[in-house]
Structure formats: structure tokens, C-alpha cells
């Protein structure tokens, strides 16, 4: 009798034990953001209209047509007068950079943002188990990650990853690397550092597809502290729900549209091709197809499928195709509360807004980030997120969809869930958040340099 009871108890409890073990293990595989810190450079690195004009005039390879092109690009870029440039620009040495210029630019960011992040989170550098650094256009030996390890005297068994060449979508690649590590090891702290080195990458030629990058990219960076430590869950800010990466590098048109290369005179620069919008749209559509079932409720997916079927049936049954039937459009707001869009440019933000049928309220964080900080490459998403936080928009349970694009060509996106109400607003927007959104985003460049449009090509002299 006792043996029978024990046998039944074993048969019942043994599966329950493994079920508990599986659930418990899953809980330790979550990826949380404990805290993050967006870099705010010193005020003496701000790029106002007058200084931008001086930098452009220093390029003696430009003619009247190039000046007109740059004027049009800057005025329509959506970038304001509060963005930042590397110190080499203010020293007038952008055409003759050194390795030290690039490294010192990155170290200034590292020492500021990482120290603030560690101090605010209460986590010491020796508690970091994983370090992931992504800076696409600067490869140094020792690596930038090793320089961080050396400066903060991190542990000898720290797992280090140094990513280059990944472009503007690199920060979500870094998060994905951290996520996979957090699924394997328990009680892990991962430090993700994302930025771009502009000092050695100024283009001094006159190729329009390459001078455009000079107008868009600005200095910035972000350090994030990720963890799967259950005891810290109540302190965390965000929980990663899903992440999808799409890579179209096998398509020649996508591969070539956004690439570092030399021009006809051998000057190194960053080429942005005319096929870039098409490549970005194609990558986004493929990425969306995969992530939509993960972020949208079943009822919305079913509604979309039914409307699509009705529309196709109506078109096929109507002579001449005159009636299109009901509009089949997905309502993303059934599964997403906030849209964190890469600030690749005004056209990128407008394009995503139109494709997703977003309101100006939804696009405001990306537009304001582009205006205040410019395109800071892979770190731009985190300035957009910080804007939402500073505006006190992020409440417990809200879901934030991050969308990024990068050379390769890549589209990476992910969904974060807000773990607690974020009312602190203690970030890079502190000193100016009450000024946003401003009454106008118009760039004053036209007012100061519009005379270029009235110049006679036969008598034009390069301004000094």
C-alpha cells in the first residue's frame, strides 16, 4: 500500500518538478534593460548654422552646383542647430584626421556615459559579465572593447564582443547578441555600448552621393545595462519581448546602396545611393512579415486576413476592377503603444509614418530627435526612447516597437515592454525637453545662405 502511494506520488510530482524547472529556467532567460545612458557632448561641440557654413566653405573641391545641392539637403534634412560634431571639426582638421582623433572621440563618450550609467545603476565595472561594443567605422588594435576593459579594470573572465561595419542597425544586433548570452547563463550583467566615430570619416570630395552623409551624421552614443537577474526585475525599465533581424546582403542593389568607398579622386567617403529608399522598403516589408505575428494580437491578424480576402474576392468578381472593396490595413496600435524609429533622415521617418499609417504624435519622438541630435547612427534609437521617457509617455505595460536600418542592407526591429512607470526623465533631454516640440522645425540655413541659388555659374567664386 505504502509503495503504491509512493509510486503515484512519484508519477505526479516528477512531471511537476520538471515543469517547474522548465518554467524557472525560462524566467532566468529574460532580457531586461536595467538602465541606459545617452551621451550628451559638451556645448562647445554644437553645430550652429554659421559654423556649418564655415565647414562647407573649407571644402575647396565644391562648385556652385554642389553648394546648391548641400543647401537644399541641409534645409530639408529636419536637423536643427543643437547637434554635435567631433572636436576635429572645430580644429579645422577634418581633412587630415589621425587615429588618435577617432580613439579620443570614442573615449570621451565612453568615460562620460559608462561612468554615469554604472553610478546610477549601482552596478560596479567588476560585476559586468558581458561587454558588447559596436562602432562601425573605426577598428583599432587593441579593440575599443579592450580599451574599456582596461580603463575600468574589468574581470579577466568577461565575455567581450567588438562589432564593426554593422551600420546604423548595429545596436539591435548587439542587443540580440546579449539576449542569446542571457538565455544561456544565469545572473548576468551585459554592458552594450553603441556609437559611431565621425572624426576619421569626413568626406572632402564633391561626389553628391557621398557629401550627403556629411549633412546627416552627428556625434552621439549610448550605453545600456542589460540583465536577466530575477532579483533586479523590479528595478528594470524594459523587457525584451522579441527581436527580428533581416539581411538583404545577397541582393546586389541592396548591398551597394549604402557603402563606404573611394570616389574617382581616391577620397574615402560613405556612398548613399538612389536605390536606398527602395532597398529600405524591401527590407522593412520582409522584417515586418516576420515580426507582425509576434507583436500583434490574433484578432487583428484575423481581421486583416478577412478584409484582404474580401478585397481580392470583390476585385475578381467586379467587371473592370472598379470596386476595391474594404480597405485592408493593419492597425499597429492594437499591439504597439509607441514607435521608436531610426532617425536616418526626414524621408525615412515620413516613409515609415506613411506605410504604418502613424499620427504626428507617433512620429514626434523621431522628428524631435533628428532635430535635436541628428542621425547618431546606431545610437539614434535610444535618443528617441529617451525623448519618450522625458515626456513621461512610458507607462507600465506599454509596448515600444524599435525599427532600425543599416548598411548591408539590414532592417532590424524589436519590441520592448515597459516594466514600470518611467517618470524620472533623467536623461540627455533634461535641459531642453520643455522646449520640444518647437513651433517650427525650419532650418535657418536658407535665410543665411539662400543667396547661393541666385548666383551666376559663370561668375561664381568659391566663398572664403
Indicate which residues carry an active-site annotation: 168, 247, 338, 342, 371, 375
Backbone φ and ψ for 343, nearest 5 degrees, come out as -90, 55
Residue 93: partners with Cβ closer than 8 Å, 6 or more residues away: 101
Backbone φ and ψ for 94, nearest 5 degrees, come out as -65, -25
Cell of 148: 574599456
3-class SS string, 59-81? CCCCCHHHHHHHHHHHHCCCCCC
> What letters, b where the CB count within 10 A reaches 16 and e where it falls short, cover 88-115?
bbeeeebeebeeebbbbbbebbbebbbe
d(CA 220, CA 202): 16
Q: Which residues pair with 225 in a beta bridge?
A: 35, 191
- State yes or no: cis peptide before 45, omega within 30 of 0: no
Residue 13: partners with Cβ closer than 8 Å, 6 or more residues away: none
Cell of 407: 548598411
Cβ atoms of 263 and 207 within 8 Å: the answer is yes
Cβ atoms of 158 and 149 within 8 Å: the answer is yes
Cβ atoms of 107 and 136 within 8 Å: the answer is no
- ∠ CA 321-324-325, nearest 5°, is 130
Amino acid at each position: 500500500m505504502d509503495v503504491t502511494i509512493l509510486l503515484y506520488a512519484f508519477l505526479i510530482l516528477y512531471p511537476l518538478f520538471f515543469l517547474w524547472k522548465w518554467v524557472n529556467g525560462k524566467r532566468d532567460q529574460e532580457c531586461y534593460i536595467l538602465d541606459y545612458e545617452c551621451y550628451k557632448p559638451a556645448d562647445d561641440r554644437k553645430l550652429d548654422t554659421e559654423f556649418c557654413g564655415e565647414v562647407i566653405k573649407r571644402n575647396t573641391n565644391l562648385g556652385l552646383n554642389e553648394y546648391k545641392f548641400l543647401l537644399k539637403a541641409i534645409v530639408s534634412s529636419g536637423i536643427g542647430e543643437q547637434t554635435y560634431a567631433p572636436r576635429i571639426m572645430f580644429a579645422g582638421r577634418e581633412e587630415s584626421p589621425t587615429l588618435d582623433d577617432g580613439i579620443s572621440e570614442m573615449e570621451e563618450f565612453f568615460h562620460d556615459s559608462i561612468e554615469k550609467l554604472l553610478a546610477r545603476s549601482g552596478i560596479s565595472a567588476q560585476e559586468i559579465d558581458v561587454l558588447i561594443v559596436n562602432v562601425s567605422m573605426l577598428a583599432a588594435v587593441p579593440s575599443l572593447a579592450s580599451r574599456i576593459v582596461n580603463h575600468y579594470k574589468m574581470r579577466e573572465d568577461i565575455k567581450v564582443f567588438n562589432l564593426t561595419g554593422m551600420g546604423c542597425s548595429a545596436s539591435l544586433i548587439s542587443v540580440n547578441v546579449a539576449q542569446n548570452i542571457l538565455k544561456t547563463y544565469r545572473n548576468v550583467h551585459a554592458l552594450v555600448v553603441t556609437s559611431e566615430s565621425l572624426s576619421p570619416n569626413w568626406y572632402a570630395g564633391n561626389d553628391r552621393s557621398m557629401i550627403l552623409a556629411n549633412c546627416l551624421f552627428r556625434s552621439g552614443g549610448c550605453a545600456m545595462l542589460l540583465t536577466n537577474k530575477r532579483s533586479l526585475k523590479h528595478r528594470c525599465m524594459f523587457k525584451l519581448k522579441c527581436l527580428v533581424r533581416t539581411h538583404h546582403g545577397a541582393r546586389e542593389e541592396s548591398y551597394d546602396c549604402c557603402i563606404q568607398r573611394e570616389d574617382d579622386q581616391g577620397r574615402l567617403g560613405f556612398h548613399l545611393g538612389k536605390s536606398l529608399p527602395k532597398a529600405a522598403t524591401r527590407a522593412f516589408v520582409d522584417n515586418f512579415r516576420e515580426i507582425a505575428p509576434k507583436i500583434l494580437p490574433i484578432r487583428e491578424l484575423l481581421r486583416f486576413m478577412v478584409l484582404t480576402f474580401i478585397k481580392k474576392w470583390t476585385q475578381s468578381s467586379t467587371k473592370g476592377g472598379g470596386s476595391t472593396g474594404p480597405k485592408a490595413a493593419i492597425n499597429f496600435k492594437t499591439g504597439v503603444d509607441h514607435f521608436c524609429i531610426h532617425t536616418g533622415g526626414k524621408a525615412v521617418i515620413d516613409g515609415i509614418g506613411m506605410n504604418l499609417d502613424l499620427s504626428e504624435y507617433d512620429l514626434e519622438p523621431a522628428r524631435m530627435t533628428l532635430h535635436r541630435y541628428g542621425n547618431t547612427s546606431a545610437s539614434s534609437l535610444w535618443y528617441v526612447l529617451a525623448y519618450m521617457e522625458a515626456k513621461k509617455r512610458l507607462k507600465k505595460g506599454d509596448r515600444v516597437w524599435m525599427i532600425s536600418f543599416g548598411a548591408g542592407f539590414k532592417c532590424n526591429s524589436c519590441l520592448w515592454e515597459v516594466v514600470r512607470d518611467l517618470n524620472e526623465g533623467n536623461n540627455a533631454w533634461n535641459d531642453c525637453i520643455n522646449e520640444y516640440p518647437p513651433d517650427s522645425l525650419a532650418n535657418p540655413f536658407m535665410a543665411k545662405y539662400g543667396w547661393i541659388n541666385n548666383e551666376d555659374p559663370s561668375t561664381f567664386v568659391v566663398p572664403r
